[in-house]
Structure 1
Amino acid sequence: MNRTLLSILKILSKENKIIGSKEISKKLKMHGINLSERTVRYHLKILDERGLTKVFGKEGRKITEKGRKELETASTVEKVGFIINKIESLSYLSDFDINSLKGRLILNITYIHESKIKKAFKVMENVFNSPYVMGHKVLILEKDTENILVPKDHICIGTICSVTLNAILLKAGIPIISKFGGVLEVRDGQPYKFGALISYDGTSLDPLEIFMRGKMTDVIGAIKNGFGRILASFREIPVVCLDKVKEIYKVMQKKGFKGILMFGDPNQPLLDIPVGIDRVGIIVVGGLNPIAALEENNIQTDTSAISVLYDYNELLDFNSAFEKFK
């Protein structure tokens, strides 16, 4: 399925009527493809032969059910790299300033049924008192806002996404590369090794969300016993920026943020993961660790990672939010 055929199927899938080659030719220009009507008809014939479109005489074509399934499959492949693009876009769009604590940072959004909310906060309390969160602030919504819809009988909880670190460093002129999301094994309270990794630029889904759904974590064990598995990511920064990043991280800690579990050495592997030339590896906690703890306790959640930009001033301290639902 080449780009032209895929674009024609996309155009047909959005129409509830039969359309001809002339109209398709015009719409293809929006996809950056310039084809004559005659060439469009040639491609339509290929789609007809594959059973992906149906001919309605001189009127034109409609997409078939088989065509919709083919489009769905092809679109999934096309989305590979979607997450890394989302990380880069939201990092750029965030205007959060760590010094003034003003602006929009990046949140993961989770919905929990209101009947489970008290138990959920009790479970998350342990995580928010551990090193395995980005910060103590959360968003709590019981009704719709302009940017977020809250399903009936549910509470929305927003946790600070680790991509906020990317945004903070980017505003300081420091490039950071998100390489992998994974499950990090903790021993004696210290990072030991990654048990599983997924490359951010090779997936259409957030890796940490995948591992959380697969119940591959033991966040509670890592907190209570010092032995467990948490969500974390592996990132790289230029060697020349290492001292500056450490300075910024000290500021973040003073402002109530956490996130970086470990810095590597220049040009040296970190937890057996190699780094690029003149780069340093860093291990960053996953912003979904509180939600992973809920899943471990069989509290069902509906989560969207790296979901939305939200004003920092609208967030609550976790302990204040907890008091509200006791």
Structure 2
Amino acid sequence: MMGQNIERKIIGILRVLSGAGEPIGANLIARQLRHLGIVLDGRTVRYHLKIMDEQGLTKKEGREGRLITPKGLSELEDALVSDRVGLIITQIESLSYQVTFNPWKKEGKVILNTSLIKKDKFKEALSIIKRVLKSRIGMSILVICRQEGERIGDLVIPKGEIGLGTVCSITINGILLKEGIPVEAKLGGIVQVSDFVPQRFTELVTYGGSTLDPLEIFMQSNMTSVLNAVGAGSGKILANLREIPAVALDKAEVILEGLKQIGLAGTVIVGRPGQPVLEVSPGLDRVGIVVLGGLNPLAAVEESGIKTESKAISTLVNFSELRPIEEIK
């Protein structure tokens, strides 16, 4: 029986391959493993791939590429619960640390959610996304759009699809961290909106005990009503909560205001020290900060009957690659 540390690496490689959609090599796998908190060089990945080929979990495609096999997909599905639990918080912490964006210089890397939309549905989906972002039910009006064969970070856009990258709200965690403010990602959930104002969390999932991003879970479970929130002012939308030390509140508010000025923070709700924010209480001498999720526009697209393949907290890109949503045609 393989050791738990080795199995974690194997499962990580299988996760990367399952999400690639095409054959990829050891060096690219190694880069994507870092997003899962697994640090391996290309040579070590090749060693594991050779063993995985022999076990029937992967197969060679071309000179260097690998694909996951049906057996590999089954193994991934049956992965140890102890290995999977907490994986999302590891990914959050890893990507937050890698954020380099400087709001004063307007340069550096930010975190994106990625979505794949069928070409023949993209125009209709884009109209919905623009409507949602115009209403500020999202993280940012800045996006990336790529055609088949192009890349959004590590993601290669498959044939017949258009890729869209929306700024992930976890980017704020990384920016605050780089400015010297400790940030703890607490939970993701559903927020009730009434009269166009966010009122309270109605569903909550903590990041520390979840395998997947909670906002992804709620979106895939059809638990949102973003279109109602945009049109009638009453509905359920995606949001997440992080906490910072109360002593850092003044500095954090200056940073958040700066982010709003450059279109990188849509609706942000900042609590007071020790006081509930949207009816969720922070820890002692802590402040809660709620940010509306970057996946809200895609949740609205799903509500309209258009299927997407969306992944939260997906990849890192340079801020310079982002464009206002209104420029996307």
TM-score, normalisation: structure 2: 0.76
Q: Once the 2 structures are TM-superposed, how far is the Cα of residue 259 of structure 1 from its aligned partner?
A: 3.9
Gaps of 5+ in 1: 15-30, 32-64
One-letter amino acid of the counterpart of residue 152, structure 1: K
- Which of 110, 114, 117 is equivalent to 2:119? 114
Hey, what's the Cα distance between the residues in 2 that align with 1:263 and 1:11?
38
Is residue 155 of structure 2 the alignment partner of residue 144 of structure 1? no
Aligned-partner SS, 2:280: coil
Of all paired residues, the percent bearing the same amino acid is: 42
The residue number in structure 1 matching 2:230 is: 223
Hey, what's the Cα distance between the residues in 2 that align with 1:288 and 1:125?
13
Hey, what's the Cα distance between the residues in 2 that align with 1:197 and 1:86?
19
Hey, what's the Cα distance between the residues in 2 that align with 1:234 and 1:184?
11
Hey, what's the Cα distance between the residues in 1 that align with 2:82 and 2:302?
28
Contact 1:10/1:71 (8 A) holds in 2 = no
Q: Once the 2 structures are TM-superposed, how far is the Cα of residue 72 of structure 1 from its aligned partner?
A: 4.8
The residue number in structure 2 matching 1:255 is: 262
- Which of 68, 82, 88 is equivalent to 1:83? 88
Q: Once the 2 structures are TM-superposed, how far is the Cα of residue 147 of structure 1 from its aligned partner?
A: 2.4
Aligned counterparts, 1:26-105, within 5 A: 72-105=77-110
One-letter amino acid of the counterpart of residue 97, structure 2: Y
Hey, what's the Cα distance between the residues in 1 that align with 2:10 and 2:135?
52
Q: Once the 2 structures are TM-superposed, how far is the Cα of residue 255 of structure 1 from its aligned partner?
A: 1.2
User: Relative to structure 1, is the Cα distance of residues 6 and 187 closer, same or farther in structure 2, using a 3 angstrom cutoff?
Assistant: same
One-letter amino acid of the counterpart of residue 254, structure 2: E
Is residue 176 of structure 2 the alignment partner of residue 173 of structure 1? no
User: Relative to structure 1, is the Cα distance of residues 273 and 118 closer, same or farther in structure 2, using a 3 angstrom cutoff?
Assistant: same
Hey, what's the Cα distance between the residues in 2 that align with 1:220 and 1:139?
22
Higher alpha-carbon deviation: 5-14 or 251-260: 5-14
One-letter amino acid of the counterpart of residue 153, structure 1: G
The residue number in structure 2 matching 1:153 is: 160
One-letter amino acid of the counterpart of residue 206, structure 2: S
Contact 1:9/1:71 (8 A) holds in 2 = no
Hey, what's the Cα distance between the residues in 2 that align with 1:88 and 1:259?
22
The residue number in structure 2 matching 1:129 is: 134
User: Relative to structure 1, is the Cα distance of residues 263 and 149 closer, same or farther in structure 2, using a 3 angstrom cutoff?
Assistant: same
One-letter amino acid of the counterpart of residue 212, structure 2: L
The residue number in structure 2 matching 1:288 is: 295
The residue number in structure 1 matching 2:311 is: 304
User: Relative to structure 1, is the Cα distance of residues 229 and 98 closer, same or farther in structure 2, using a 3 angstrom cutoff?
Assistant: same
Q: Once the 2 structures are TM-superposed, how far is the Cα of residue 78 of structure 1 from its aligned partner?
A: 1.4
Contact 2:244/2:287 (8 A) holds in 1 = yes
Larger radius of gyration: 1
One-letter amino acid of the counterpart of residue 117, structure 1: F
TM-score, normalisation: structure 1: 0.77
Contact 1:208/1:232 (8 A) holds in 2 = yes
User: Relative to structure 1, is the Cα distance of residues 93 and 10 closer, same or farther in structure 2, using a 3 angstrom cutoff?
Assistant: closer
Q: Once the 2 structures are TM-superposed, how far is the Cα of residue 7 of structure 1 from its aligned partner?
A: 6.0
